């Protein structure tokens, strides 16, 4: 007598246990903790001020409007000028792209060198990099301001890019070094026997295997750089302020009636890029972490 094929999804419990109820209750509460503020922001951004004054923050709009979104993007005042956060968006993009590419590229090469090319003092250098990652950024701001002012880079987008690359290097090196530590050393030795050089082994052997950790590093860097406020306000200058600084100016420099719908719309517009990155590549982030991003 043949046995029935096993259920690929496993056996489903026939009884409801206290443990299952507790797990689902925890998941529901956790989801509500993050989703309720997002719901309030979204609904407020789609209401006219007459409805907002009534205080029903959880209710659907009776009169739907996208005027707050239009005003936040192209008409809200960020100081003396009233061009919305669209200018800040382009500045953030110009900061984000080179900062992410350079920090990941340098971190990958550094992690590769520390993993396979064991030069003298490599562990000491790696320890110094990690030490720099744990020192508060505020300690370095004044010396960096004086340094960039002396070199002529201060108050420019390039200055912000350089700062992000410098402060992103310790974390990127740690991620890539730990990931490369999980690659069998025999693979590297075989490439060396075949006559591979430093760059040929990295580009043809190591880099094609690095897709999971590159995705993890990209998500971390995009989120951190896009949401940064401190470096933008300290190094960008008045003409190159990123989106987060523009958002702060909209929320805190408004005179007269506070337009909460415009504030919420501007906040959501500022958060769209990190949200899109997480939604589009969230599963790859989990795979990269499981592949060894925090191993070592």
Q: Is residue 74 part of a domain?
A: no
The mean per-residue pLDDT over the stretch 182-192 comes to 85
Residue 287 within any structural domain of the chain: yes
Any domain includes 142: yes
| Nearest alpha carbon to residue 264 among 14, 130, 72, 16 | 72
Which residue range forms the structural domain that includes residue 146? 86-293
User: Has residue 60 been placed in a domain?
Assistant: yes
Residues 127, 204: one domain? yes
Buried b (16+ CB within 10 A) or exposed e, 248-267: bbbbeeeeeeebbbbbbbbb
pLDDT of 230 strictly over 80: yes
The sign one gets for the Cα dihedral 124, 130, 131, 132 is positive
Q: How far apart, in whole angstroms, are the C-alpha atoms of residue 81 and residue 78?
A: 6
Greater model confidence, 111 or 291: 111
Q: What is the mean pLDDT of the chain?
A: 84
Confidence band for 92, pLDDT divided at 50, 70 and 90: very high
Q: pLDDT class for 159, splitting at 50, 70, 90?
A: very high
- Do 200 and 271 lie in one domain? The reply is yes
C-alpha closest to that of 106 among 212, 205, 224, 202: 202
Q: Assign residue 166 the CATH number of its domain.
A: 1.10.3720.10
Within-domain flag for 233: yes
Give domain status of residue 205, yes or no. Answer: yes
For residues 40 and 93, membership in a common domain is answered with no
The count of domains in the chain is 2
- Rounded distance, CA 284 to CA 157, Å? 30
For residue 294, name the pLDDT band (cuts at 50, 70, 90).
Answer: very low
Q: Do residues 141 and 1 share a domain?
A: no
The pair of three-digit structure tokens given for residue 88, joined into one six-digit string: 């800040």
Q: Which residues contact 130 (CB under 8 A, 6 or more apart)?
A: 170, 174
Name the band, by pLDDT with cuts 50, 70 and 90, for residue 292. low
The predicted model gives 209-233 an average pLDDT of 89
> Does residue 232 fall inside a structural domain?
yes
pLDDT in tens, 56-82: 888 889 889 999 999 889 888 777 777
Average pLDDT over residues 174-193: 86
Instruction: Indicate the pTM of the whole model.
Output: 0.80
Do residue 157 and residue 211 come from a single domain? Answer: yes
Q: What is the mean pLDDT of residues 153-169?
A: 91
Helix residue ranges, H only, the chain:
18-45, 49-52, 67-74, 86-116, 122-134, 138-151, 157-181, 185-193, 198-201, 211-226, 230-235, 243-252, 260-288
Is 75 domain-assigned?
A: no
Do 129 and 235 share a structural domain?
yes
Q: What is the pLDDT of residue 256?
A: 65
Instruction: Judge if 1 and 132 occupy the same domain.
Output: no
pLDDT grade, residue 290 (50/70/90)? low
Q: Which one is predicted more confidently, 284 or 91?
A: 91
């Amino acid at each position: 007598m043949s046995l029935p094929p096993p259920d690929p999804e496993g056996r489903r419990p026939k009884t409801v246990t206290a443990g299952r109820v507790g797990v689902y209750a925890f998941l529901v509460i956790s989801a509500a903790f993050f989703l309720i503020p997002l719901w309030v922001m979204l609904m407020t951004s789609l209401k006219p001020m007459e409805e907002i004054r009534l205080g029903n923050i959880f209710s659907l709009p009776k009169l739907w409007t996208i005027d707050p979104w239009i005003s936040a993007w192209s008409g809200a005042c960020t100081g003396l000028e009233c061009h919305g956060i669209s200018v800040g968006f382009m500045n953030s993009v110009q900061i984000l792209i080179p900062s992410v590419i350079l920090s990941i590229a340098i971190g990958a090469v550094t992690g590769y060198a520390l993993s396979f090319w064991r030069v003298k003092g490599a562990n000491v250098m790696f320890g110094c990099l990690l030490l720099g990652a744990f020192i508060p950024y505020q300690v370095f701001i004044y010396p960096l301001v004086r340094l960039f002012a002396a070199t002529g880079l201060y108050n420019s987008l390039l200055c912000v890019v350089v700062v992000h690359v410098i402060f992103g290097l310790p974390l990127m090196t740690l991620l890539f070094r730990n990931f490369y530590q999980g690659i069998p050393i025999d693979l590297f030795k075989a490439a060396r026997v075949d006559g591979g050089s430093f760059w040929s082994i990295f580009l043809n052997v190591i880099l094609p295997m690095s897709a999971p950790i590159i995705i993890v590093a990209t998500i971390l860097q995009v989120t951190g750089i896009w949401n940064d406020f401190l470096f933008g306000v300290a190094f960008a200058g008045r003409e190159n302020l990123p989106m987060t600084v523009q958002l702060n100016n909209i929320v805190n420099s408004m005179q007269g009636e506070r337009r909460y719908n415009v504030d919420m719309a501007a906040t959501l517009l500022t958060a769209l890029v990190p949200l899109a990155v997480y939604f589009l590549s969230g599963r790859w982030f989990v795979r990269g972490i499981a592949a060894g991003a925090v191993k070592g």
